[in-house]
Amino acid sequence: MEKRSDISGFHGLSVEKRLDFVREFAGLSDEECDIVKKTGALDIDTANRMIENVVGTSHLPLGIATNFRINGRDYLIPMAIDEPSVVAAASYAAKLARPKGGFTTSSDESVMIGQIQLLNIKDFDAAKRNILEKKDEITAIANEKDPVLLKYGGGVKDIEIRIIDSERGKMLIVHLLVNVSDAMGANAVNTMAEWISPRLEELSGGDARLRIISNLATKRLARARAVWDKEELAKSVKGMEIKGEKVVDYILDAYHFALVDQYRCATHNKGVMNGIDAVVIATGNDFRAVEAGAHSYAARDGRYTSLTKYEKDSDGNLVGEIELPVAVGTVGGAININPVAKIALKILGVKTARELSEVIASVGLAQNFAALRALATEGIQSGHMKLHAKNIAAIAGAKGSLIDEVANRLVKEKNIKVDRAKEILKELG
């Protein structure tokens, strides 16, 4: 029987009921469910092995985005984030995409770029020629350092050379193109870059300085595409009389604002990364690396622009696309250590790093679409403040069912403040 992620009323279930559904969907064991339920799943000894100077752990809520259908398969998406409405928005965007088949995706091979900076070279043309003539030798030397990666079809696949100018003089930059398989790849690539640098010094007559991976993973792009039906979009707007293609037009107006204005585009792309970072963090991957790569890719042509693209198809429906570097892994690093990350990957059910990158791209597109739809119609604060009101109610001292009661009053009054929440609590006795 096919597993489905379009769950009506998932947000209204108790935490236990939600976890029961996830247990059934992902085949979690009792022990794994117990780990997820604990607010301190990362024990202090494990945390102490991960970074320096450990005194404790910090926690983010772990939510589940529903309704995602990607390449004909349903997914539940674990998201670790503390911003209200992000999980709900992603779920709603995915729900609206389902009538047209959900998301279709593609991705490149898991190739990362390792950079070796060579300075003080007398003859750059000769240095470049010498290195390229010894490409096979350099590849073999670098691959000696990671036979396990080679065993799984990875390793150095090619070498590129760039000559760049700077205020410190000309530099020759060697790029090792390394297929890192199902790892994010930083450790493997950095080790290879350091290992090969003495031979590159000999061949170039220069001095090696930096030997480091690039987070602008232009050889490791992930793409996602979805179509949102114009009539479904019109029905989704609350409190406004909008028909057919009007919502599509409003969203396109918002998108083109981001295309031409960098101030708007920064927030536009932040909306993309709200979804992407949440999945990257939940799965134990490096969200800082993914963030750096995404924003750098957005400015690859010398002007910062949108990571997403929207247009209207011949039937008047909205077509959304995204393309960006997504350097993530399903093995290695914190993934092998953090028990919640392991369970998050199990919930996703992804088999490869490429599949994970495509899921992440789909979430980024969904999150961005959700923000544009809300901004272009009823406004972003409507859904956001409903969730924020619950936090305010709790801060004011509400507990249990009183949290919802106080929050509902705050929203109805459009006065979401702690002082007013305290007054409502007193009224309720």
Active-site positions read: 83, 270, 286, 384
Give the long-range contacts of residues 120-128, CB within 8 A, separation 24 or more. Answer: 120/206, 120/207, 121/170, 121/172, 121/204, 121/205, 121/206, 122/205, 123/205, 124/163, 124/170, 124/172, 126/205, 127/172, 127/203, 127/204, 127/205, 127/206, 128/161, 128/163, 128/172
Q: Which amino acid is at 405?
A: E
Contact 179, 321 (CB under 8 A): no
Joined tokens for residue 255: 């998108």
Contact 290, 277 (CB under 8 A): yes
Unique residue bearing structure tokens 């619950």: 390
Question: DSSP class of residue 285?
Answer: -
Distances (CA, A) of 191 to 116, 194, 213, 332: 11, 5, 10, 15
The β-bridge partners of 111 are 179
